Amino acid sequence: MEGWKKYSKNDVEYVQNEILAGHISQLKDHFIGAKKVARIVGLSGIGKTRLALEVFRPLKNSQENIKSQAITDQVVYIDAADDSAGLPGIVKQWRDQNLEGIVVVDNCELDLHQRLRREIEHPDSRLSLLTLDYDPISNDDCNFIRLEPASEEVITGIIKQSYQGLRDPDIRRIVEFAEGFPKIAVMLVKARLNEVDDMGNLNDDILMEKLLWGRKQPNDVARKVISACSLFTRFGFSDDMVHQCDFVAEKICDISKDDFYEHAVQFIEQGVLDKRNRFVRVVPIPLAIRLAADWWKRCRLETAKELVTMDMPDRMSEALCDQIGKLHHVHEARQLTKELCGDAAPFGQAEVLNSDKGSRLFRSLVEVNPIETANALEHAFGGWDKEQLLQVKAGRRNLVRALEKLCFWEETFPIATRILLSFAVAENETWANNATNKFFQLFHYLLSGTQAPPDLRLQVIDEALAADDMEYRRLAVEALGHALNTYHFHRDGSVEIQGSRAPQEDWLPKVWQDVFDYWAKCFERLIPLASIDDELGALARKQIASNLRGLVHYGRMEELESALKSICVEKGIFWPEAYKKIKSTIHFDGAKLPKNGLEKLKKWLEILEPKTFVQRWKLIISEPPRELETDEGETHSDRFYRLASEFAEECSKNTQELFENLKIVFEGEQSRGYAFGHALGKLLDQEDVFIEKALSVLKKLPPRQSESISFMWFCIFDKS
């Protein structure tokens, strides 16, 4: 027992759930007394040996349980894989010597178990026996436990306990692939730590053979069956889905349906073909990947192309391509993808890609060979204009998701992002994860969904800004606004998980200066645009203003002041969005800002103060900022009305300016129009002139100016 405990894999604390605890308790109770026999079976790597150890491991405070310690001291562990020929004779000698104890025999085939059992149950025996085996159907009529895959919680606990510091995305990926096999989980962890490219592949030949055959002799036809099953993430096996099983038998294995079914049932009993309802799939995932990889390596390229492009029942093509998507490490799979995506090949044609089935299959293939699939998209859609791209509807969802995957890799980012941008220009979806929003996401400095560094992203922006099409330029400006975003980062999907690779990481700044440099370069592009008083300039100013508070928080005062001087001082452009943001920044963050920073914000407010009637109207009446401060004893409603009334009083004293600008008074939404009209109605002396001029302006405006008109009539009513 002491030697058994000292193996390094047994040093860490055992992780268990209720089921495992129940097995331990059952066996502890069973082995009280002599002549007791029990057997644990289960697939290789599922945790049988460690479970047996925990049954007899001494308690941490063994003085409190003398009986438990006594049982522990009597345990002898033997691995029959080393040498089992003379073991029954040795046990007979121990029995003849009247020895007392518990013999644990690992890797014990059924025949050896039965011979040992005869010695243990002999009338003169004072021994007990626990055998373990990796053949899950080698059961006996003794106390028998068939160990099933562990729960996700157990596998997670094993990983976290033994490999502290592993990232949560890596742990989740390993748990997903291990499918309840502790040994495979440990193998995957080591592959991840060693940065093995095909982390999800089962590279242990001995373990693979044990999982497939148990104690049975390998069978070539059976291997052909399980290999064919591994080509699909799952396929139908029974009831109304049995035609999928027949398809695999006849079209891939080239054997009779009955022979295929017979072998498949044996693998179901073995536990490596998992049957859920009407479907089956090979488990665990690393075994399926290994078998599929071996199959594709032996498959002729022409045969492979025929298989992928042939008509299959229901959605079997998707299940096939999803499994191929895990084989990025297989040269033959990458070559197949290249052949399928050539200029004259199916996935090099726009009409195929713009179909539900074609785009769905292509979406899986991008994980195998990103470069060739990116080239295929460029060939298919690179020369299309907006009107043509607007007609991409059937395949658009899958194509956007495929582009999202391709944008993740630095080497395919330029091609994929340009195509994604062209889809965004020709946007025809309203989903939150449409091409437009996926394009914007790429420019966040956190959770961007790409490994491309900022300079590579900005190259795409520069190309778009240089385009003749205003829509490209507009999207580029908005993308720069997303680049300046400072908080609330999130993204959906799992684009960082592709193929059987370990989870990848988005680009991350090494130091804050990396982010500041990125923002500075965004300002270099936005400020010249924002300094032009046109539609694109207004959009550029909006991007800067909407991020102003966060940028102040991160000390980007120099860039902001440069923008303010260029836009407002040098070009004289009114910038109400910045005025509003600065006021709210002072209100919410003023107490946390350094004194010189707060003073600078107040100076900026002075520069941004509205000067003309039109500017003042817009900021006081039409689109006023949210009032955050009030005088003592004043409510927000009081302040709202007071500011409108004060401006109305000014207008009543200088009606010339009011009359000259009646068009903007009546045009669009007027947030404080009612309050202004109410106050003006009490103060205005020239109501007849006002009505005459107002009607003249209104005749030239479209209808739906209800709020503005209501305040005008309020003036008349109040005065009368």
Residue 533 domain flag:
yes
Residue 345 domain flag:
no
Helix 576-589, helix 595-608: angle, nearest 10:
150
- Do 604 and 656 sit in the same domain of this protein? no
- Do 115 and 173 sit in the same domain of this protein? no
Q: How many angstroms separate the CA atoms of 537 and 543, rounded? A: 10
Q: How many residues are recorded in the chain?
A: 720
- At 429, list the tokens: 């979806």
Q: How many angstroms separate the CA atoms of 262 and 491, rounded? A: 46
Q: How far is CA 142 from the centre of its chain?
A: 48
Q: How many CB atoms lie within 10 A of CB 236?
A: 24
Q: How many angstroms separate the CA atoms of 535 and 470, rounded? A: 10
Q: How many angstroms separate the CA atoms of 71 and 1, rounded? A: 10
Q: In the predicted model, what is the mean pLDDT of residues 270-293?
A: 96
- Do 141 and 156 sit in the same domain of this protein? no
As to burial, measured by CB atoms within 10 angstroms (0-12 exposed, 13-18 middle, 19+ buried), residue 643 is: middle
Domain assignment of residue 525, given as a range: 512-609
User: pLDDT grade, residue 103 (50/70/90)?
Assistant: very high
Residue 182 domain flag:
yes
- Do 124 and 25 sit in the same domain of this protein? yes
Q: 281: which strand partners?
A: 274
Of 491, 517, 520, give the one whose Cα is nearest residue 506.
491
Q: How does pLDDT run across 431-455, given as a tens digit for each residue? A: 999 999 999 999 999 999 999 999 9
* The predicted structure's pLDDT at residue 704: 62
- Do 140 and 166 sit in the same domain of this protein? no
Q: How many angstroms separate the CA atoms of 160 and 143, rounded? A: 33
Residue 142 domain flag:
yes
* The predicted structure's pLDDT at residue 406: 98
Of 689, 678, 613, 687, give the one whose Cα is nearest residue 651.
613
**Given a cut of 90, is residue 205 above it in pLDDT?**
yes
Higher pLDDT, 56 or 521: 521
User: pLDDT grade, residue 707 (50/70/90)?
Assistant: very low
- Do 88 and 37 sit in the same domain of this protein? yes
- Do 13 and 139 sit in the same domain of this protein? yes
Q: How does pLDDT run across 618-668, given as a tens digit for each residue? A: 999 999 888 777 777 788 888 888 999 999 999 999 899 999 998 888 888
- Do 140 and 176 sit in the same domain of this protein? no
End of a domain among 566, 593, 609? 609
Residue 375 domain flag:
no
- Do 167 and 129 sit in the same domain of this protein? no
Q: How many CA atoms lie within 13 A of 70 on its CB side?
A: 8
- Do 142 and 160 sit in the same domain of this protein? no
- Do 136 and 6 sit in the same domain of this protein? yes
Number of separate domains in the chain: 4
What CATH number is given to the structural domain containing 51?
A: 3.40.50.300
Percent of the chain having pLDDT more than 70?
94
Residue 306 domain flag:
no
End of a domain among 137, 171, 196? 196
Of 75, 54, 65, give the one whose Cα is nearest residue 1.
75
Helix, strand and coil in the chain, % to nearest 5? 60, 5, 35
In this structure, which amino acid lies at residue 439?
Answer: F
- Per DSSP, the residues of 177-197 read HHTT-HHHHHHHHHHHHTT-T
Residue 438 domain flag:
no
User: Which of 241-262 are b and which e, b meaning 16 or more Cβ less than 10 Å from the residue's Cβ?
Assistant: beebbebbbeebbebeeeebbe
CB contact at 8 A, 689 and 659: yes
CB contact at 8 A, 445 and 550: no
End of a domain among 196, 231, 261? 196
In this structure, which amino acid lies at residue 227?
Answer: S
Q: How does pLDDT run across 521-565, given as a tens digit for each residue? A: 999 999 999 999 999 999 999 999 999 999 999 999 999 999 999
* The predicted structure's pLDDT at residue 65: 65
Phi, psi for residue 716 in degrees, rounded to 5: -65, -45
- Do 69 and 123 sit in the same domain of this protein? yes
Residue 49 domain flag:
yes
